[in-house]
Amino acid sequence: MCGIYFSVAKDRHILPDQPTVDALHARGPDSYKVFQTTDNDEKLHLTFISSVLALRGQNIQEQPLHDPVSRSVLCWNGEAWKSDGVPVEGNDSAYIWRLLQISLAHPHDRQHRIAQVLSHIAGPFAFIFYDAPTATVYYGRDRLGRRSLLINQRDYGSLTLASTSPNPSGTATAPSEVSTNTIHFFQFQEGSILQGKLPWASELYPINKGLPDSEIAALPSHESVDGLLVHLRESLMLRSVDIRDHSHPQMTADAAKVAILFSGGLDCTLLARIIHEILPSDEVVDLLNVAFENPRSLAAKGRIQASAYEQCPDRVTGRSSFTEICEVCPQRKWRFVAINVPYTEAVAHKPIIIRLMYPHNTEMDLSIAMALYFAARGQGELLEVYSNVCSEPIPYLSTARVLISGLGADELYAGYSRHAAAFSREGFQGLADELEMDFNRIGSRNLGRDDRVMSSWGKEIRYPYLDEDFVRFSLDLPVWEKAGFRRGRPVPKHHEATGLASTPGDLEPAKMLLRLAAWRLGLRRAAAERKRAIQFGARTAKMDAGKGRTKGTDVLAVAA
Question: Mean per-residue pLDDT for 388-407?
Answer: 88
**Cβ pair 172, 215 in contact under 8 A:** no
- Listed range (222-226, 250-254, 349-353) with the worst mean pLDDT: 250-254
Lowest pLDDT segment from 69-78, 164-173, 257-266? 164-173
Averaged pLDDT score across all residues of the chain: 89
CATH topology for the 2-199 domain: Glutamine Phosphoribosylpyrophosphate, subunit 1, domain 1 (3.60.20)
**Average pLDDT, integer, range 69-82:** 96
Question: Where are the alpha helices (H) located in 414-483, listed in sequence order?
Answer: 417-440, 442, 448-454, 468-476, 479-482
Q: With 90 as the cut, is the pLDDT of residue 551 above it?
A: no
Mean pLDDT, rounded, for 38-42: 78
Query: CB under 8 Å to 486, separation ≥6 — which residues?
Result: 216, 218, 480, 509
Residue 171 has pLDDT above 60, yes or no: no
Identify the band that residue 552 occupies on the pLDDT scale cut at 50, 70 and 90.
Answer: confident
More confident residue, 47 or 191: 47
- Among 2, 75, 312, 329, which one carries the catalytic annotation? 2
Contact 388, 480 (CB under 8 A): no
Q: Averaged over 90-97, what is the pLDDT?
A: 94
- In terms of C-beta density within 10 A (0-12 exposed, 13-18 middle, 19 or more buried), how is residue 102 classed? exposed
pLDDT of residue 105: 85
Q: What is the mean pLDDT of residues 332-343?
A: 94
Q: Does pLDDT of 92 surpass 60?
A: yes
Q: Is the pLDDT of residue 560 over 50?
A: no
d(CA 526, CA 361): 33
pLDDT at 558 over 70: no
- Please tell me the predicted confidence (pLDDT) of residue 493: 59
Mean pLDDT of 240-249: 77
CA 138, CA 114: separation in Å to the nearest integer?
9
pLDDT given at position 547: 58
Q: For residue 31, give the 3-state DSSP assignment.
A: strand
pLDDT value of residue 388: 62
| Average confidence (pLDDT) over 329-348 | 94
Predicted pLDDT of residue 167: 60
pLDDT band at 559 (very low <50, low <70, confident <90, very high): very low
The CATH superfamily of 222-244+253-538 is HUPs (3.40.50.620)
51-60, 69-78, 119-128, 137-146 — which is least confidently predicted?
A: 51-60
The ranges assigned to domains in the chain are 2-199, 222-244+253-538
Q: Comparing 372 with 165, which gets the higher pLDDT?
A: 372
pLDDT at 305 over 70: no
pLDDT recorded at residue 495: 42
| Dist. CA 229–CA 523, nearest whole Å | 14
Please give the pLDDT value at position 540: 76
Q: Catalytic: 329?
A: no
User: What pLDDT does residue 132 have?
Assistant: 93
363 compared with 554, residue with greater pLDDT: 363
Q: What Rg do the C-alpha atoms of the chain give, in angstroms?
A: 24
